Amino acid sequence: MSPSLIALPPALPAELLTWILSHTAYPTTVLICKPRAAFLESLLSSISPPDEPPAPHSPTSDDDLPSSPPNATTDDSSDPSHSKHPLLLKTLNQISISRHISLIYIPTVSHYRAYVSVLPRPSKVSAPPDRTWEKKGDKKARLIVYGLVELHRNTSEWSAQGMGRSLAGLVEAESRDGRGVVCLEEGIWERNEEDLEDEEVPMLNGSVRRGGLGNEDSGWSGRTVEVGRIFAKWFKFGKPEW
């Protein structure tokens, strides 16, 4: 198992982008395992707390990170409840770092595997100046995959066989290009649900779910395995930094 292969706990979209801007190395490629429109909707929801309306602005191109602050004529900056999220502020730091971040939207498992198999080499654009707090070994190019497990859900690849094949592509990319690879899922506001690592999936593609009343007697036919054990074959589990 390589220390360059890390699995992190789930994070909200806003937490993910804030972490990338603040604590990751460059150049960074981020594979968002959902359509662009769906990700932006989740991002705006995570910027605004559940009891507040979504932020009024959204990016207009794939390369833009949310950066436009609310219109000054409709925002009372003196009211703390209307304070802007850091991602909505176009700072010099965000502008300079965004040149070194590539966001790729992956709608299906087939798209994901095709892209990873021909993954472009890391950009040769000079990285931002070194940061004194960076740990040794953090300066290599990084590939971040967001929502890989959910991408497999409700498909014929929802199995240890299907997810193992997808993870093997990341292991190959890490070995080929020397990238640091990070995998994590999209988080939710309520964090008291069952840990995704403990969720059971069938061993093989095409397994059939047994019927039952509610959760009673329902499940997968044949052997099952926890999602966490699939990742543990190659990945080291890290602690959240958000």
Enclosing H/E stretch for 116:
helix 109-117
- Lowest-pLDDT range of 93-97, 169-173, 216-220, 229-233: 216-220
Q: Is residue 74 part of a domain?
A: no
186, 40 Cβ separation under 8 angstroms = no
| Residue 19, SS3 per DSSP | helix
Tally the domains of the chain: 1
Q: Is residue 89 part of a domain?
A: yes
The residue assigned the tokens 């080499």 is 121
54, 66 Cβ separation under 8 angstroms = no
Quick one: pLDDT at residue 24? Answer: 66
Quick one: pLDDT at residue 89? Answer: 74
Q: Is residue 230 part of a domain?
A: yes
pTM: 0.76
Q: Is residue 60 part of a domain?
A: no
| Residue 14, SS3 per DSSP | helix
Domain of residue 229 covers 5-48+84-237
Q: Is residue 77 part of a domain?
A: no
Whether the predicted pLDDT of 93 surpasses 60: yes
Q: Is residue 79 part of a domain?
A: no
Q: What is the band of 198 on the pLDDT scale with cuts at 50, 70, 90?
A: confident
Q: How does pLDDT run across 27-59, given as a tens digit for each residue?
A: 899 999 999 999 999 999 988 765 555 555 545
Q: What is the band of 127 on the pLDDT scale with cuts at 50, 70, 90?
A: low
Quick one: pLDDT at residue 76? Answer: 47
User: What does the CA dihedral 75, 78, 79, 85 come to, rounded to 10 degrees?
Assistant: 70
